[in-house]
Amino acid sequence: MLQGSSDGNGVFIWLRGGETDSLAGGPWPLLQRGDTLSPRGGTVGVRYMLNAVAHGLPLDSGAVEVRETAHVFTVVARGTGHETMAAGRVALEASFDAVPLETDSVSCWARP
């Protein structure tokens, strides 16, 4: 999970890696918030201020790109989503640069 915010605007990215705990490079498809079947993908939520009114939406089209360089990651979310208050689609391009991946001491996967 990655989150960033500034002056009331923010982006939240949740990447689900499927069968492994690793963060594979390349494009990740966007998943919808309630999708529990897709093994791999990202969910992106956006909050932004327009004048003094907060708006928010999940991205429903686009992709999340993951790149690794020297054990740090760059994650870029590009896409669009429907925002009801704006009565239309909102486009987003957001990046998280030089994010270190901390190692887990215990896997997050359930065991039978």
**Ranges of each domain in the chain:** 2-100
Q: Please choose, from the candidates 75, 59, 78, 61, the residue with its C-alpha nearest in 3D space to the C-alpha of residue 24.
A: 75
Q: Spell out the residues 6+ positions from residue 35 whose beta carbon is closer than 8 angstroms to its own.
A: 41, 43
- What are the backbone angles phi and psi of residue 56, rounded to the nearest 5°? -155, 155
45-101, pLDDT tens digit by residue? 999 888 888 889 999 999 999 998 887 889 999 999 998 777 788 899 999 998 887
13-23, pLDDT tens digit by residue? 988 876 655 67
Give pLDDT, residue 104. Answer: 58
Give pLDDT, residue 46. Answer: 92
Would you say residue 26 has pLDDT above 70? yes
pTM for the whole thing? 0.77
